[in-house]
Structure 1
Amino acid sequence: MRNAYRILAGIICVEVVIQAMAVVFAVAGLGKYITDGNVVDKAALESEDLEFTGVVGFMVHGINGMMIIPLLGVALLVISFFAKVPGGVKWAGIVLGSIVVQVTAGLLGHDAPYIGLIHGLNAFILFGSAMNAARLARTADAGAASSPVAA
């Protein structure tokens, strides 16, 4: 179970990196689309015909952020109760809490762009929390491997 905990925490770290890559790909593509003389307005955003290099980044960012990462966070918390990682439940809770903040800030940022600052900062908090959770599990594995087995 410790391995599952460590792997899930690591996957969450990778997902945060994918999120950053996807949104930058999308924004850079949108910038090039506009630089090439195209116009983006409310009608274009609501249209299913808006096509530019990088548009898939917005979809990846949305699906990962709204479905995949929250599911991984819940799974990490559930597994944390069985993994016997010292501090594991606490750190899984912190990871899940920062995921909730991230999703909320992402949704509210559409109406209040300054909340995007919280969304960006919290991504680092989420990454660091998940990395710490993975480190704790790795340390617990090393400690279990080096401790003598009672006969």
Structure 2
Amino acid sequence: MRSLYIWLSRLIALGVVVQVLVIAWSAFDIQSKANDGVPFTEDTEANIGAMLHSVIGMMVIPVLALLFAIVSFFAKVRGGAALAWGVFGLVVLQIALAFASFAAPVVGTLHALNAFAVAGLAGMAGSRATKPDPSVAAPARSSDPGVPAGA
């Protein structure tokens, strides 16, 4: 379960990177078409970058975050459940900020900043899981052969 915890954390962080890439693609595609005189309206053909951003952000990352939070209970990572549920909470906040951004576009800046928080916390959780838990470490050995181990 620990390795699944690590992989889910990495997939979430990678998902955020992919989100940045596809939304940049979307923005530059709109700009390129506008430069060619194509108006961007609700009747304009679909923008693949924006569609991918929506699907990944509303389906893929939330499912990964929920699985990550559930797996955290079984992974035996010190503080792992708190970090994983923190990631899940930030993903929920990310979705709320996305919807709020349609009414108040300046909120989109918080949406972008929160994305970095999601990636950072997921990365931190995965990094913590790769380190051995000190509470279950082997007892220290003495260099003196007459002293029993752990004394």
TM-score normalized by structure 2?
0.86
Q: Summarize deviations over 1:9-30 as a string: whole Å, max 9, x none.
A: 0000000000000000000000
Name the Cα RMSD after superposition: 1.8
Cα distance in 1, alignment partners of residues 79 and 16 from structure 2 = 22
Cα distance in 2, alignment partners of residues 122 and 95 from structure 1 = 10
Q: How many residue pairs align between the two structures?
A: 139
Within the alignment, does 1:115 sit opposite 2:107 as a pair?
Answer: yes
Cα distance in 1, alignment partners of residues 138 and 34 from structure 2 = 61
Is the Cα contact below 8 Å between 1:86 and 1:140 reproduced in 2? Answer: no
Structure 2 gap ranges (5+): 140-151
- Name the larger-Rg structure: 2
User: Which residue number in structure 2 is paired with residue 28 of structure 1?
Assistant: 28
TM-score normalized by structure 1?
0.86
40, 45, 51: which one aligns with 1:50: 45
Within the alignment, does 1:84 sit opposite 2:76 as a pair?
Answer: yes
User: Which residue number in structure 2 is paired with residue 127 of structure 1?
Assistant: 119
The secondary structure found in structure 1 opposite 2:131 is helix
More helix by share: 1
Which runs of 4 or more aligned residues in structure 1 lie more than 2 Å from their structure 2 counterparts after TM superposition? 143-148
Is the Cα contact below 8 Å between 1:10 and 1:134 reproduced in 2? Answer: yes
User: Which residue number in structure 1 is paired with residue 55 of structure 2?
Assistant: 63
Q: Report deviation, 1:140.
A: 3.2
Cα distance in 1, alignment partners of residues 86 and 128 from structure 2 = 13
Identity %: 33
Q: Report deviation, 1:114.
A: 1.2
